[in-house]
């Protein structure tokens, strides 16, 4: 085959293939340590990675793709748009991309969410687990590179590699002050995946950064996790706290987390480059039934901690069995990135959300809603899970919800 011998033609063909298998962007970076690899070391030295020990343990590999794949010469970088409307379109796909609604979705819960109470799940987890979706596509590229005589290794979160740095080097976008990779037209609602290969390919030109003097993401972050441009303190980031963190969430950060039960989108919601962000046409990434708009009660039910007689789950009423909870979590998270939070983690997060919504209901003098949310907080705190019980203690939610309690929490 002609392009098998010429790096330029081979590179063009590989990128064409990436588009054919469904990626929205594709580019090539040299398999060299990215220029900002040093920043990873400083990030780790300052312990901004919190409990993500896997970030520290493979730091040298993470900085140099040749340690991941000896003899590596190129990194094929691919990106997939995951932006989707909260409810999947009623029928089929639409022709071409539609303008996104990202800019309109800034909801500083619980104060400004239009009266709608949601246990808010970050949009990257609305559809099918992206690792599965991207892996299949990257495998097709890897097969082709192997057929051409190279060795190929796939990465999508799974391998220690600085995905954003390579994607930026490959010209897929620039790294914004919120630390996300942003494409000037498509925005930042992108999943990244790579194929590291020993084949020689022609690198693309990087784009320049376009943040300018903007600092909306830094100003909007609810917990102040963006401690400086391009520098994120994971220990304060809601995404880390609700997904990776296996411990309780401190009372102050919990309070600032609003209604976010899994992940956080604020620093991307406010980004001007997401105002007209592309929408995905990939059905796999469209929201699963109701996932983007679950009420706290619905989520509790789906996690096996529903109220007696609500028809959702947990016929035991007060308290639930570990089997209820396991079955509920298993069904809700099958094939979804939500699974990463673990069952007890999601229940802990839900308790935090319920506590924040209850505070809001109290401020709004909605007495009935306060009682409903206290009942739910009580049910969660009493569900029998150790982490949730400890979170309840951290929030003072137990005293608020306990029978005969003051009806006031320590908030």
Q: Which two tokens stand for residue 161?
A: 């590699």
Closest approach of Cβ 266 to ligand B12, in Å? 9
What per-residue string of b and e applies to 308-346 under the rule 16 or more CB within 10 Å gives b? eeeebbbeeeeebeeebbebbbeebbeebbbbbbebbbb
Cβ neighbour number for residue 2 with a 10 Å cutoff: 8
CB 253 to ligand SF4: min, Å: 9
* Residue 181 interacting entry, from ligand SF4, ligand B12, none, C-beta within 5 to 8 Å by type: ligand B12
Q: Judged by CB under 6 A, does residue 216 bind ligand SF4? A: yes
Residue in this structure with the two tokens 């705190």, named with its chain if needed: 381
Q: Which is nearer to ligand SF4, 184 or 317 (CB)?
A: 184
Distance from the Cα of residue 1 to its chain's centroid:
41
Indicate the DSSP class of residue 27: E
Pair of tokens at residue 313: 């789950």
Residue closest to ligand B12 when measured from CB atoms: 263
Residues in 272-301 that interact with ligand SF4 by CB under 6 A:
272-273
User: Which residues in 359-384 are b (16+ Cβ under 10 Å) and which e?
Assistant: bbbbeeeeeebbebbbbbbbbbbbbe
The smaller minimum CB distance to ligand B12, of residues 160 and 328, is found at 160
Q: Is 380 in the site for ligand SF4 (CB under 6 A)?
A: no
Nearest to 69 by CA among 156, 162, 196, 192: 196
Classified as helix, coil or strand, 365 is coil
Please pick, from the candidates 239, 242, 314, 336, the single residue that binds ligand SF4 as defined by CB under 6 A.
239
| Residues 182-211 contacting ligand SF4, CB under 6 A | 211
> Of the ranges 112-120, 213-221, 315-323, 334-342, which one interacts with ligand SF4 (CB under 6 A)?
213-221
Q: Which is nearer to ligand B12, 244 or 394 (CB)?
A: 244
Dihedral of CA 247/329/311/299: which sign? Answer: positive
One DSSP character per residue, 94-108 reads -SS-----GGGG---
Among 36, 46, 108, 157, the active-site one is 157
Taking the least distance from each CB to ligand SF4, the nearer of 48 and 72 is 48
User: Closer CB to ligand SF4, residue 230 or residue 318?
Assistant: 230
Q: Which residues contact 365 (CB under 8 A, 6 or more apart)?
A: none
Q: Which of 77, 134, 243, 270 binds ligand SF4 (CB under 6 A)?
A: 270
Query: Which partner in ligand SF4, ligand B12, none is near 187 (CB below 5 to 8 A by kind)?
Result: none
Residues binding ligand SF4: number (CB under 6 A): 24
Euclidean distance between CA atoms 74 and 81, whole angstroms = 23
Whole-angstrom Cα distance, residue 260 to residue 254? 10
Residues lying near ligand B12 in the complex (CB under 6 A): 34, 36, 39-40, 43, 52, 55, 122, 124, 156-157, 161-165, 175, 178-181, 188, 190-192, 209, 230, 232, 234, 237, 239-240, 243-244, 263-265, 267
Site for ligand SF4 in 83-102 (CB under 6 A): none
Residue 266 as a binder of ligand SF4 (CB under 6 A): the answer is: yes
Let me know if 269 is a catalytic residue: no
Active-site residue set:
157
Binding site for ligand SF4 (CB under 6 A): 176-178, 211, 214-217, 221-223, 225-226, 232, 237-239, 264, 266-267, 270-273
């Amino acid at each position: 085959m002609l392009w098998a011998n010429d790096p330029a033609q081979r590179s063009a063909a590989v990128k064409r293939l990436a588009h054919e298998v469904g990626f929205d962007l594709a580019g090539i970076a040299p398999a060299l340590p990215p220029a900002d690899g040093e920043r990873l070391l400083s990030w780790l030295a300052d312990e901004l990675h919190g409990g993500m020990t896997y970030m520290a343990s493979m730091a040298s590999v993470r900085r140099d793709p040749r340690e991941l794949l000896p003899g590596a010469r190129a990194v094929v970088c691919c990106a997939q748009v995951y932006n989707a409307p909260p409810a999947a379109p009623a029928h089929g796909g639409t022709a071409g991309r539609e303008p996104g609604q990202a800019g309109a979705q800034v909801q500083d819960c619980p104060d400004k969410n239009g009266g709608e109470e949601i246990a808010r799940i970050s949009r990257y987890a609305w559809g099918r687990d992206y690792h599965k979706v991207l892996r299949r596509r990257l495998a097709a590229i890897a097969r082709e590179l192997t057929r051409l005589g190279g060795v190929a290794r796939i990465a999508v979160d799974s391998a220690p590699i600085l995905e954003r740095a390579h994607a930026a080097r490959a010209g897929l976008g620039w790294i914004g002050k919120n630390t996300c990779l942003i494409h000037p037209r498509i925005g930042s609602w992108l999943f990244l995946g790579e194929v590291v290969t020993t084949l020689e390919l022609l690198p693309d030109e990087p784009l320049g950064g376009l943040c300018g003097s903007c600092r909306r993401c830094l100003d909007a972050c609810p917990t102040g996790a963006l401690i400086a441009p391009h520098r994120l303190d994971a220990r304060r980031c809601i995404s880390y706290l609700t997904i990776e963190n296996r411990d309780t969430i401190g009372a102050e950060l919990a309070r600032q987390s609003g209604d976010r039960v899994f992940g956080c989108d604020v620093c991307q919601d406010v980004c001007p480059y997401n105002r007209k962000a592309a929408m995905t046409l990939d059905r796999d990434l469209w929201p699963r039934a109701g996932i983007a708009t679950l009420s706290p009660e619905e989520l509790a039910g789906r996690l096996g901690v529903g109220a007696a007689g609500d028809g959702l789950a947990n016929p035991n009423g007060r308290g639930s069995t570990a089997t209820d909870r396991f079955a509920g979590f298993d069904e809700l998270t099958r094939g979804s990135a939500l699974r990463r939070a673990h069952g007890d983690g999601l229940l802990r997060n839900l308790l935090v959300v319920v506590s924040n919504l209850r505070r809001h209901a109290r401020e709004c003098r909605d007495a009935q809603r306060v009682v409903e949310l206290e009942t739910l907080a009580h049910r969660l705190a009493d569900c029998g899970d150790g982490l949730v019980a400890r979170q309840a203690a951290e929030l003072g939610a137990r005293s608020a919800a306990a029978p005969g309690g003051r009806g006031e929490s320590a908030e």
